[in-house]
Amino acid sequence: MRIVKRILLAGTSLLLCLNLLTGCSWVSLGVLYGMLSESPDDSSDFYDPGSSTPDSSLTDDWEEPGWENWMNTATGSATYPESGTVLISVYLDTGLDWTEEDVALTQQYLQIAVEGLDQKGQAYQSGMDVVYDSRQDPRLAVNLSLDIPDVEDDLQLTNRALDAALAEAVDYRGLMEEYQTDSVAFLVFLNDSGVSYTIPYYQGDSAEWYWEKCYLYLYDLGGRRNYENPATYAHEMLHLFGAWDLYETNDTDGVTQQVVDYIRSEYPTELMLTTYNIWGGYTYDRVPQVISPLTAYAIGWIEDCPELDQFPTLERQQRCCFSYW
């Protein structure tokens, strides 16, 4: 699970693939543990508003949107954990049909992830305030079909096509007004196996990248055997609010080898380090990982932490913000 940087757009699809595979091997590759032990909750209703396929002219003639006065040009569309962010689940048609059971399962895991994060936030006198449950509000989920062979082949094309389709299929501005928030993000579910990832906004990006999205595979990279677990959902959601990956170095984000070594030593079950449980498998009924002070600082749960004296490259000028400087 990783943040996909915009710099990859200038490369080839092979470069993206290599970054996903090598960068995520610490937490994602070859996981053959933790087979789902319970069947999905069949009591959940599945809302299917029908598929929506964007007119190709919307992407061919796409124009970069202008900044509106309500947009937060520092954080991106998902602002702060306490902002009541509207999370819209997008079930993308990738050639494999979504079953009611699989949709119910993703919503169940999403609930576990959100509740787990909110509980962990209480240790920092904070929490995770998001609106997400399409079982309660069917408008929070949509099925989309894009005329794109591979969503990872061209991230910019995928992003533009999704923005065009979402503008037609989802009244997210109306939802934001109803839930009284200026914060929104999209959880794009892929009915396939792969490495889940997030494309967050970086301060200085164009408005094209403002609408932040997590791409969540139904199954992990091990094939259609192991479902992605709630910890993966939680890990990717935290990227929306500024959390760093802590399993590898990243010069842009200031994550040095010293930072990685420190987290592995002091917080071996840190959520941004691993989505495995302590036995090397997956947990499906809760999020057992911990949130270290560094991650709490990154997502704005705390204003400062002692580790910043040791790792000054992680200090931020604005809370919950990624930037290139």
What pLDDT is recorded for position 58?
40
SS3 at position 248: coil
The predicted structure's pLDDT at residue 176: 94
- Angle, CA 322 vertex, CA 262 and CA 183 arms, to 5°: 120
Q: Which amino acid is at 97?
A: D
User: In the prediction, which pLDDT does 31 show?
Assistant: 21
pLDDT, residue 280, reads 93
Give the whole-angstrom CA distance, residue 131 versus residue 138: 12
pTM: 0.83
* Boundaries of every domain in the chain: 2-244
What sign does the CA torsion over 273, 278, 279, 284 have?
negative
The pLDDT assigned to 2 comes to: 56
Q: Are 50 and 143 in contact (CB under 8 A)?
A: yes
Which residues are CB-contacts of 35 (< 8 A; sequence separation ≥ 6)?
Answer: 225, 226
Q: Which two tokens stand for residue 320?
A: 């919950």
Question: Residue 96 has what pLDDT?
Answer: 79
Mean pLDDT by 10 residues, the chain (325 residues): 50 37 30 26 36 45 63 92 97 88 97 98 97 97 90 92 94 94 96 95 92 96 91 98 97 97 98 96 98 98 96 94 89
Q: Looking at 123-250, list the stretches that DSSP marks H as alpha helix, in order from N- to C-terminal side.
A: 155-169, 172-178, 230-240
pLDDT given for residue 222 in this prediction: 87
Contacts 24+ apart (CB under 8 A), 161-166: 161/54, 161/58, 161/59, 162/90, 162/186, 162/188, 162/213, 163/208, 163/211, 164/54, 164/55, 164/58, 164/59, 164/62, 165/52, 165/53, 165/54, 165/58, 166/88, 166/90, 166/142, 166/211
